[in-house]
Amino acid sequence: MLILTAIHPHLEILYQDSGLIAINKPHGLLVHKSAIAADTNLFAVQLLRDQLGMKVYPVHRLDRKTSGILLFALNEELNSLMQQQFMNGLVSKRYHAIVRGYTPDKMEIDYALKRDDGVLQDAFTSFVTLQKNEVPFAIGKHETSRYSFVELTPTTGRMHQLRKHMAHIFHPIIGDRPHGCNKQNKYFTNKLDMSTMLLHASELSFVHPLSDLKIKIKAGFQPEFSRMIQTLGFRPIP
């Protein structure tokens, strides 16, 4: 698996045809330039453009600290068609995360979220718990800490939806700021040298706008996520 380096990043390509391309975005890589992130000059759009030698159009977004599948169009027509699919809920997305505490075996979260302008939007997420484990991390008043490895399926695509939904049910994603647990995040940063968020976009499925073929793209975990899976005593998943 190819990983991001500070000198010459090279993006792992998961899928490519004449109109679409998907990469496995590393943790910490912005999708495009942002006024709120003046600390970097590396962006997925720029890097992929330079890697391919052609213009690319991101058809959706991933948070900076979220790794996994990021889909681009190679022309404006497909960009528009794919954005419509995302907006109309026609794209199936699956994520993996490591969260604080023992989550229910499965759960549906139907909890509306506010946009930055105050508008309330419906938001729905379901998840299943793959594994649970208790490890000897003394955080706060407890001598051990419990974690769950979950698979999340959002059916809406609101800003920070998974992060906010998991925080809402008191099982925040490890490494999430500002929605997560400060004590957990501080421990993982200082004791485990982890600087990311344990949320990964694992699978993306859609019908190709031009061929009408069902496309399913999968992304393996980035090295930092894999290291945390091992550190927390979870079994690797296929």
Q: Which residues are catalytic?
A: 63
Q: Which two tokens stand for residue 38?
A: 């003046």
Q: How far apart are CA 93 and CA 62, in angstroms?
A: 12
Q: Are 21 and 83 in contact (CB under 8 A)?
A: no
* Per-position DSSP letters for 84-152, written without gaps between them: HHHHTT-SEEEEEEEEES---SEEEEE--EE-TTS-EE--EEEEEEEEEEEE---BTTBSSEEEEEEEE
Q: How far is CA 30 from CA 37, 80, 212, in A?
A: 8, 21, 31
